Structure 1
Amino acid sequence: MKIEPFKVELWMNEHEDKAIYNTGETCVDSISMDELFEIAGLDKQDTLNELTQKRLTYGHIFGNPKFKKGIASLYETIQEEDITTTHGAIGANHLVLYSLVEPEDEVVAVLPTYQQLYSIPASFRATVKQHVLAPENNFLPDLTELKKQVSQKTKVIIINNPNNPSGSLMDREMLTEIVAIAKDANAYILSDETYRGLTQADIESPSIADLYEKGISVSSMSKVWSLAGLRLGWIATKNQEALQQCLLHRDHNTISCGMIDEELAAIALLNKEKLLMRSQKIIRENLKILDEWVAKEPHISYVKPQAGTVTLLYYDFDRSSRELCLDLIDNHGLLFTPGDCFEFENCVRIGYGCRTEELIASLNKFSEYLAKI
């Protein structure tokens, strides 16, 4: 099976370790086990003693019930039996596409987005139609155009909400309209919701799994919950046909997730309000800093993100995004992600979920660079 190289992952693999100023990171500032236990109000020694006594079996094949209960609490209508756990959201996306998309199927996917969402269906020899999100439309779908792209042959409509890399957010009204388009075609909607909940304002961020009987939500413990090292994600859907296909295929590539990882994730989601408050505080304070910085930089512009931890910074000088980012990392230790990793140019992706002092130092370094060129 041939597949397109995963541009953003190749870029991060090659350059992340060189970063002095890392604004390529997409998770909210990661926490340690010590910090997790402190946030949860647990006695560290007692908790570790309990964990170390567990026999390291395969654990719960379809996911630790405590973890799945925590996941279900993130939705309006999803129950524990509507969920299966995976190796990160990247594993969840792959499993859904691997389970549902066949050669000759038609898929409509937004662009820009996480590349696997359109490269994996293409590798299965599906016809992939790209619905390009434009900055002029705040990186939101053009519903008239989307309706034209979806046909009776469409198997899956793929969205990413909140969007990576733009930070746009589709509200309930827009999602409901997309559901109507999907219903007319009897198509699934796969929604990568890895950043769901990280809103700039105190507004809802509904899940497609709660809005549509053929809606499939994918998420993880990485971005919102600052626990990427657990490598845990999940699929949530009320559509039993889709879920059973995922479970059938899951036997071939997962069996189960790490039992200790799921214990820790269960602790985190039992304390989801505290963790979410921490994450929202970081991204909201950091976006204010980024917004003020953009306003002062004459050669930089952006569409202010509504959610998530990332956005695209556009520049007005003549240089490819890859050339610019290579210069920044190789000669200045400053890590951004080139826009060409998302099929866009004259822009770079910045992650602003890091420690505030790290963001300030990175922006100051970029300002020095811009002043010189």
Structure 2
Amino acid sequence: MKVKIHTLFQYLLETTDAEPEAIVGFSLSGSPVLGDYLDALDPKLSLDWNNRDFRGLPELRSHVLSQAGLHGRCRTEDVLITAGAAEANYLAIMQLLQPGDEIVIETPGWPQAEVLAKAIGAKIVKVTRQESDGWHLPLDRLRDAVSERTRMIFVTNPNNPTGDLLSAAQLDELVDIASGVGAWLLVDEVYAGLEWDGPRAPSVAGLYEKGITTGSVSKALGLQGLRTGWMICRDAALIMDAVILRENSSEIMNIMGEVIAEIALRPARYQPAMKKARKEGAANLAEMNAWVDSQPGLTWVPPRAGLIGLARLPAGIDSDSFARLLLQEPYRTFLLPGSAYDQPDHIRLGVGGGAEVNLHKGLDRVGEALKNWGAS
């Protein structure tokens, strides 16, 4: 089994040393600094693992259930702390999929499931979200896509990268589709809590015995560097299988990630942090909407949740060429081409990152590059 690089990661690798002066498309909230947590850290904390539970600190797992609204539906034993949502997705997919199994995925969507499924030798069935339909997940076509051979359905909610949001009723329908063929339903919730249009959707781990919820502190809280996420599932065998696989890869969590994440998810800190993230995200989204409206030929469906969305470029502009042009003088601005999500006529716009990403400056420069495209 060889895992091949995806277009998204390839572009990030190739542009790491670009040193842009502005970023348009930042995918997480402004990041706190270590000093924000020093008052709650024990200077005598051992830098060994937590010495309490291979599944993660019990109090951290309890906080995870609280923020997902799963207390009473799931137990702390149903939570496994992982190195971000990416590891949680990896552990579930690698333990559940076998060569020849079918996995149903959305497109555009987070590419990890497709990359891993190809490496395993599973059959990939794609269900396409249409821009003309507001990027909504077409549940009727998804129902037609599943079969008795479907082992897993993988979606993101809120959707990464369009920002569409499944409602509680739509999630119930998705559960009905999965349960009808006995498939696992994995829902990546990394942007949950940043809803602009509608309430937070229920977590699938509380709706379905074979439902798997994954998430992290990376996006809404801006704590990507902690590499701390989780998997929630009521199937005890799956959680144990994930523990066993992780024993042969990362083995255990890093104690600093666990401890700081536990502090960040304490209600007294979590609620103000989320309020701040929503306030800043909403303000940046309003600025982004106004800017898109002012650009001739540029259109987008504003995200209903999360910090990113896809904008359609004016006719004749290739997203890869445009993104690389932006990295050069005089623009020095980073954004992700839509080709990373199989949408070559689009660019990814984002409203995260705080003041340090210089969003306003970046938008001005992207506007100049669009205006000057023909001359360049």
Query: Mean Cα displacement is larger for which, 213-222 or 203-212?
Result: 203-212
Contact 1:16-1:335 at 8 Å conserved across structures: no
Percent identity over the alignment is: 27
Deviation at 1:23, TM superposition (A): 2.0
Change over 3 Å in CA distance of 1:31–1:17 after alignment to 2: farther
Deviation at 1:202, TM superposition (A): 5.7
| Structure 1 residue ranges, 4+ long, deviating more than 4 angstroms after superposition | none
Structure 1 counterpart of 2:114 = 118
1:192 to 188, 192, 196: 188
Aligned partner of residue 253 in structure 1, secondary structure: coil
Q: TM-score, normalised by structure 1?
A: 0.93
Change over 3 Å in CA distance of 1:95–1:6 after alignment to 2: same
Once residues 187 and 16 of structure 1 are traced to their aligned partners in structure 2, the CA distance between those partners, rounded to angstroms, is 39
Alpha-carbon deviations, 1:164-217, whole Å to 9, x = none? 111111111111111111011000101111111111146222211122121101
Structure 2 residues not aligned, in runs of 5+: none
Asked if residue 295 in structure 1 is aligned to residue 303 in structure 2, the reply is: no
What is the one-letter code of the residue matched to 1:163? N
Once residues 183 and 202 of structure 1 are traced to their aligned partners in structure 2, the CA distance between those partners, rounded to angstroms, is 26
Deviation at 1:2, TM superposition (A): 2.5
Once residues 249 and 208 of structure 2 are traced to their aligned partners in structure 1, the CA distance between those partners, rounded to angstroms, is 28
Deviation at 1:319, TM superposition (A): 2.6
Contact 1:200-1:283 at 8 Å conserved across structures: no
1:55 to 39, 46, 53: 46
1:1-373 equivalences under 5 Å are 1-18=1-18, 19-35=20-36, 37=37, 44=38, 47-48=40-41, 50=42, 52-59=43-50, 60-75=53-68, 76=70, 77-201=73-197, 203-270=199-266, 271-331=269-329, 332-355=331-354, 358-373=358-373
Contact 2:335-2:349 at 8 Å conserved across structures: yes
Contact 1:167-1:311 at 8 Å conserved across structures: yes
Contact 2:134-2:301 at 8 Å conserved across structures: yes
Number of aligned positions between the proteins: 363
Once residues 202 and 180 of structure 1 are traced to their aligned partners in structure 2, the CA distance between those partners, rounded to angstroms, is 22
Contact 1:108-1:157 at 8 Å conserved across structures: yes
Deviation at 1:112, TM superposition (A): 1.1
Contact 2:194-2:305 at 8 Å conserved across structures: yes
Alpha-carbon deviations, 1:144-180, whole Å to 9, x = none? 1111110011000000111111111111111111111
Once residues 163 and 214 of structure 2 are traced to their aligned partners in structure 1, the CA distance between those partners, rounded to angstroms, is 17
Contact 2:313-2:319 at 8 Å conserved across structures: no
Structure 1 residues not aligned, in runs of 5+: 38-43
Change over 3 Å in CA distance of 1:202–1:275 after alignment to 2: farther
Contact 2:104-2:125 at 8 Å conserved across structures: yes
Contact 1:171-1:205 at 8 Å conserved across structures: yes
Once residues 225 and 47 of structure 2 are traced to their aligned partners in structure 1, the CA distance between those partners, rounded to angstroms, is 18
What is the one-letter code of the residue matched to 1:13? L
Q: TM-score, normalised by structure 2?
A: 0.93
Once residues 183 and 241 of structure 1 are traced to their aligned partners in structure 2, the CA distance between those partners, rounded to angstroms, is 18
Once residues 333 and 10 of structure 2 are traced to their aligned partners in structure 1, the CA distance between those partners, rounded to angstroms, is 17
Once residues 63 and 83 of structure 1 are traced to their aligned partners in structure 2, the CA distance between those partners, rounded to angstroms, is 8
Once residues 196 and 328 of structure 2 are traced to their aligned partners in structure 1, the CA distance between those partners, rounded to angstroms, is 33
Once residues 170 and 142 of structure 2 are traced to their aligned partners in structure 1, the CA distance between those partners, rounded to angstroms, is 12
